[in-house]
Amino acid sequence: MKSSALAICSFLAASLTAAEPNLTVTRDIPYATPAHERNTLDLHAPAGAKNLPVVFWIHGGGWQAGSKADVQLKPRLFTSAGFVFVAINYRLLPQVDMTTLTRDVARALGWVHRSIANHGGDPRRIFVMGHSSGAQLAALLCTDDRLTRAEGVPFSSLKGCVPVDGDTFDLPAIIATAETRRRVHGQPEPKSTHRAKFGTEEQHREFSAVTHVAPGKGIPPFLILHINANPDTTIQAQRLAAVLRGAGVPARVLGDREANHSSLNHRLGEPSDANTRELLAFVAAQLK
């Protein structure tokens, strides 16, 4: 295990200090017909890419903001390591409801599965990842097989899931926690809450990844990254991992004592970043 970790560190340092790889970057590809202006994705591929594993990235922003352009070092990280990297946009609250938003993300994954071979990717080796609200969407996509089946994507094509600092894998739990905290401390109700964003109590359960975890579904392994400073993302990471493990799905939780919500995401791709090394180790293990 130690020698494997050292090999990954050496690879990462070499790849990220080398010259920028020769890339083909195709932006604003529509993934739906008819396509809303936010039903588009960006695709980063090494020159001459053929049959490479794929990273499917979902941005954060509280389901109300954010952009596929918010990828920082990730395209360089993964293309240098021999991946095709895809970043998606999707329609946002309050212009659409959460069901429509979630279906947009599933439709984008369906496009990738159908079309990525034309861009050098392997549709049978896809890693789904996302930050913050994108972490909730990534985890849901990799546990609720109704979403993927509707787009013709079998779970066998999903090789791993990496939610980054999400707090909504179990919505009823986080809603109850937040409302109890506000009540006990006499805090005012915020303008926008998870209860309001996600609809009815039944919808809260349906949009929770933990609801859909079950043995024998082919759910891919998880690497769940979070910051230790936030008790909500910490307990939600542990909750999701416990449910996954209970169903026989490999799940590792990695907390960062130094990072904040933004820096944990932004640093993915830095040679000195421990989470980046763990991320590369995770994807390498799933591709064996």
Q: What is the pLDDT of residues 170-197, one digit of tens each?
A: 999 999 998 998 889 988 888 789 999 9
Residue 88 has pLDDT above 80, yes or no: yes
Per-domain residue ranges of the chain: 2-286
State the pLDDT at residue 146: 98
Residue 172 to residue 208: CA distance in whole angstroms: 8
State the pLDDT at residue 11: 46
Better pLDDT: 213 or 179 = 213
**Which residues, other chains included, contact 219 with Cβ-Cβ below 8 Å and sequence gap of 6+?**
142, 143, 155, 213, 244, 247, 249
CA angle 59, 22, 19 (to 5 degrees): 95
Which amino acid belongs to residue 17? T
Residues 106-118, mean pLDDT to the nearest whole number = 98
Residue 42, SS3? strand
Residue 12 has pLDDT above 80, yes or no: no
Q: 247 with 214: CB under 8 angstroms?
A: yes
Residue 173 to residue 176: CA distance in whole angstroms: 5
Q: What is the pTM of this model?
A: 0.93
Percentage of residues of the chain with pLDDT beyond 90 = 87
Residue 8 has pLDDT above 60, yes or no: no
Residue 162 to residue 234: CA distance in whole angstroms: 15
Residue 255, SS3? strand
Q: What is the pLDDT confidence band of residue 1, given thresholds at 50, 70 and 90? A: very low
Residue 216 has pLDDT above 50, yes or no: yes
User: Within a 10 A sphere around the Cβ of 34, how many other Cβ atoms?
Assistant: 6
Residue 272 has pLDDT above 60, yes or no: yes
Task: Tell me the pLDDT of the chain averaged across its residues.
Answer: 93
State the pLDDT at residue 101: 98
Residues 145-151, mean pLDDT to the nearest whole number = 98
Residue 22 to residue 257: CA distance in whole angstroms: 35
Q: What is the pLDDT confidence band of residue 20, given thresholds at 50, 70 and 90? A: low
Residue 171 to residue 29: CA distance in whole angstroms: 32
State the pLDDT at residue 18: 45
Inter-axis angle of helices 98-115 and 133-141, nearest 10: 60
Query: 2-286 sits in which CATH class?
Result: alpha beta
From residue 39, how far is each of 42, 54, 142, 255 by CA, in Å? 11, 19, 20, 33
